[in-house]
Chain A
Amino acid sequence: MEMKSNTSGKSRQDHEKKDLIIAVAGNPNAGKSTLINAIAGSRLHVGNWPGVTVEKRSASFEFKGRQITLVDLPGTYSLSPYTQEEVIARDYLVTQKPDVIINVVDATNLERNLYFTMQLLELNIPLVMALNMHDEALQKGLIIDTEKISAMLGCTVVPTVATRRDGLDRLLEQAVSFATDPENHTAGHVSYGEDIEKAVATILSELPAYSSVPHTRWLALKLLEADVQVMQASGISVNAPFLGKATRHLRAAHGEDLEALMADTRYALAAGLTREALQKPQKRKRELTERIDAVVLNRYLGIPVFLVAMWLIFKLTFDIAGPFTDWLDGVVAGPLTRWTSTLMALVAAPDWTISLVTEGIIGGVGAVLVFLPPIFAMMFFITLLEASGYMARAAFVMDRVMHAIGLHGKSFIPLLLGFGCNVPAVYATRTLENPRDKALTALLIPLMSCGARLPVYVVFTGVFFAAYAGTVLWSLYILGIALAVAVGWLFKKTLFRGESPAFIMELPPYRMPTMKNLMIHTWEKGKHYLIKAGTWILAISVFVWFGLNMPWGVESKKDSYLGIASQTIAPVFAPLGFGTWEAAASLLTGIVAKEIVVSTMGQVYIPETEEEENQEAPTVGEEIKEIGVSFIGAFGNAAKNVFSTVGVATMSAEEDEETAGLRSVIAKAFTPLSAYAFMAFVLLYLPCFIVLVAMRHEFGSWKWAGVTIAYQTALAWTVAFVIYQGGRIIGLG
């Protein structure tokens, strides 16, 4: 975005209908994103703020002949220099100087929202207040005198109900007229009292000698507060004599902590204004939120309710996504692949290019697409939890447990989703605001045994531990959880040293989310995944194809690049009990997706049997019909899954005829001890590359993906070593 100069020329050129930049700022839970969605809708552009992983939403559109750019600032409670979101918001406001700020205020929570408004007014940018959720306030019997707020703060106040689009046109009109008509622009400052104003005046008069930065009231206030970020940027020392002189009286009268004095002053003003402008009902009704919380946060019911909610989220995410995943997989692997190879054969393309296109490229597209349904479903439910207000309650109930292992209450949901599939789980870490909590949670997700690892366990437990398969299966899940606790503790002491971030969180009132909001957020996430992660996944998929199939025409997989690599690394696995090239090859391909470990074993252990499909190939017409029918079927299955609670889609592994041959080979190649070590290794070694790409996408760099690769490889080897060698010592092998 280009820099705007607000200081000169503006008033003269206003009638030329110049482009306007409107910044939208407000507290979390004030309905800011609903308001933006309602105004901008499909014109929303979602990206990231430069250098950080915080989402940046903006939209450009025409309004009354003017080009408007709407920029959504991160929802914050303040403009302090401490959190990522706050720094982004204030940096934008100070350096980009938007033409006008729309301050979204929750009408049901006036005082705390006005505290933030006070800070926005310090910036001396025209401000229009959207008094949002006005209907809810009325319902509660709150009467707000908007004229009074307007008069006291020098800004226009527009009551809005963003969920119903009420007042939004007027809001935009007011914002535009406020930004363009300097006569109308009365946004003076709110007086902070004689003592502070005197100190500000002194600082402003002395500033030019000390710094070349624009000396605004905002800067003076920040210098007074000894704001760490402003001090650094302006190069003015906390000990600068003029600051000492300016604040001497303040310190004497109000104590040394001027930052606290400023917060107290702003809150006192916000409280005063609230008293003046807000009329509360005589008798307070017991609100819906309180009644729900009496159950949801109840001492005895709180945890059962939480567990049921989590179970539902997990089931619904993966059961709804499951049929669509199968459908996409079927279409890509079936008709799409067949049509492409037929077409390519028609133009006499060489065999290897057919293989590259169908297995490498189309296979890669399939790998990208199959994760789309669970990502959509996950995002839908996460947004639902957040928008309804339950997310904060889930964190409240679970924080004690998660805090014990250095995590945040909100870490629970991403970790839980990890048991279904690690990919959407990594994306679900976005509910965590603090970068430290977010990274630590993402690092532990791969230790949650995902659905794709189950087929491996099923084959091996079936062969070696048939009598107590359930116990062995559970032991692996428990092993992953136990190691997550240990690794979490270790990371807390090393990579994430220092105090864990505090848990100071609003429990917002329960609200009914709107379908439009849910859809917009869900769609955005899926679209981003397709574009950002999809490219990487496709590229890696092609790379893997080369490893598997080159040099072209090799008789056995053993002679492919993959086979050669497997033979090279096989000795590393010898101390773990499975130092064969076949085991190494299946582990290597497992990086594509862990369930592939089984199918690779099928290919490398059992010499390829040429089987020609004798079935008559279906016609294109039949296939298209079948795609349509199965797509409708997927809806049916998804709906059925929602209602049936029995069929755990992700947890069932198909036991088919094909694996029978494999089972007998595995029985000879492994011992029970080495089989268990192998399963532990499959559980713990680096996650499939899609998870790594998701981490890179969500964190904006390969850093945490790199840490994951390193620590998981070390962990898997060590644990498998201890199991195998330990088992031999006590005589199990």
Chain B
Amino acid sequence: MTLADLKPGQCGIITKINVSGALKRRLMDMGVVSGTTVRVEKVAPLGDPMEVHIKSYQLSLRRGEADKIDVEAA
């Protein structure tokens, strides 16, 4: 299951980030690291990007990126 599969209101725990290089570092710098709980807050009116709650702040990312982040049910 990936972060993109979660519906608004659902939580997940990050298990793996399936990207590398600058994008991976960027995600990690923003707090997307293994073991962290994320909650999907909203999806943009046009369906993309999405807003998640992580490390007590709000982060937005596109589904394309969210799809590369594996999560397990919290």
Contact A111 B31 (CB under 8 A): yes
Which residues from chain B contact A82 at a C-beta distance below 8 Å?
21-22, 25-26
A11 to B66, CA, bound (A): 51
Instruction: Scan residues 109-139 of chain A and give those whose CB is less than 8 A from a CB of chain B.
Output: 109-112, 115
Question: A439 interface residue, CB < 8 Å from B?
Answer: no
Contact A80 B62 (CB under 8 A): no
**Contact status of A504 and B44, CB under 8 A, knowing A396-B51, A400-B49:** no
Cβ-neighbour of B56 out of A109, A289, A298, A392 (below 8 A): A109
Q: Nearest Cβ in chain A — how far from B34, in angstroms?
A: 7
Instruction: Scan residues 25-57 of chain B and give those whose CB is less than 8 A from a CB of chain A.
Output: 25-31, 33-36, 42-49, 51, 55-57
A112 to B46, CA, bound (A): 29
Question: B23 interface residue, CB < 8 Å from A?
Answer: yes
Question: A52 interface residue, CB < 8 Å from B?
Answer: no
Which residues from chain B contact A115 at a C-beta distance below 8 Å?
29, 31
Cβ-neighbour of B45 out of A78, A109, A299, A509 (below 8 A): A299
Cβ-neighbour of B42 out of A112, A293, A403 (below 8 A): A293
Which residues from chain A contact B48 at a C-beta distance below 8 Å?
399-400, 403
A397 to B50, CA, bound (A): 10
Contact B60 A503 (CB under 8 A): yes
Q: Is the interface of A mostly helix, strand, loop or mixed?
A: helix
**Contact status of A78 and B29, CB under 8 A, knowing A298-B45, A399-B44, A399-B49:** yes
Name which of B24, B43, B44 has the most chain A CB atoms within 10 A of its CB. B44
Q: Nearest Cβ in chain B — how far from A365, in angstroms?
A: 45
**Contact status of A397 and B51, CB under 8 A, knowing A112-B31, A264-B33:** no
Q: Nearest Cβ in chain B — how far from A290, in angstroms?
A: 8
Q: Number of A residues contacting the other chain (C-beta, 8 Å)? A: 40
Question: B61 interface residue, CB < 8 Å from A?
Answer: yes
Contact A507 B58 (CB under 8 A): yes
Contact A506 B58 (CB under 8 A): yes
Contact B51 A400 (CB under 8 A): no
Instruction: Scan residues 287-320 of chain A and give those whose CB is less than 8 A from a CB of chain B.
Output: 289, 293, 297-300, 302-303
Which residues from chain A contact B6 at a C-beta distance below 8 Å?
none
A204 to B29, CA, bound (A): 26
Contact A77 B61 (CB under 8 A): no
Contact A506 B59 (CB under 8 A): yes
Which residues from chain A contact B46 at a C-beta distance below 8 Å?
303, 397, 400-401
Contact B25 A400 (CB under 8 A): no
**Contact status of A112 and B24, CB under 8 A, knowing A399-B48, A502-B62:** no
Question: B65 interface residue, CB < 8 Å from A?
Answer: yes
A493 to B4, CA, bound (A): 27
A403 to B47, CA, bound (A): 12
Q: Number of B residues contacting the other chain (C-beta, 8 Å)? A: 34
Which residues from chain B contact A478 at a C-beta distance below 8 Å?
none
Q: Nearest Cβ in chain B — how far from A119, in angstroms?
A: 9
A271 to B56, CA, bound (A): 11
A110 to B56, CA, bound (A): 8
Which residues from chain A contact B47 at a C-beta distance below 8 Å?
400
Name which of B33, B43, B57, B59 has the most chain A CB atoms within 10 A of its CB. B57
Contact A502 B26 (CB under 8 A): yes
Which residues from chain A contact B23 at a C-beta distance below 8 Å?
502
**Contact status of A109 and B24, CB under 8 A, knowing A267-B31, A396-B44, A400-B49:** no
**Contact status of A507 and B60, CB under 8 A, knowing A111-B31, A112-B31, A260-B24:** yes
Bitwise interface map of A from 363 to 401 toward B, beta carbon under 8 Å scored 1, else 0: 000000000000000000000000000001000110111
Question: A729 interface residue, CB < 8 Å from B?
Answer: no
Cβ-neighbour of A267 out of B26, B33, B42 (below 8 A): B33
Which residues from chain B contact A606 at a C-beta distance below 8 Å?
none
**Contact status of A77 and B29, CB under 8 A, knowing A293-B42, A302-B45:** yes
Which residues from chain A contact B25 at a C-beta distance below 8 Å?
78, 80, 82, 259, 263
Name which of B29, B47, B51, B62 has the most chain A CB atoms within 10 A of its CB. B29
Question: A209 interface residue, CB < 8 Å from B?
Answer: no
Contact A505 B55 (CB under 8 A): no
Which residue of A is nearest B36, CB measured? A267
A–B Cβ pairs within 8 angstroms, 8 of them: A109-B57, A112-B31, A112-B55, A260-B28, A297-B44, A297-B51, A503-B65, A507-B59
| Seed contacts A392-B60, A504-B26; 14 additional CB < 8 Å A-B pairs | A80-B22, A82-B22, A109-B57, A260-B33, A263-B28, A267-B55, A303-B46, A399-B62, A502-B65, A503-B62, A505-B60, A506-B30, A507-B51, A509-B58
Binding site for A on B (CB under 8 A): 17, 21-31, 33-36, 42-49, 51, 55-62, 65
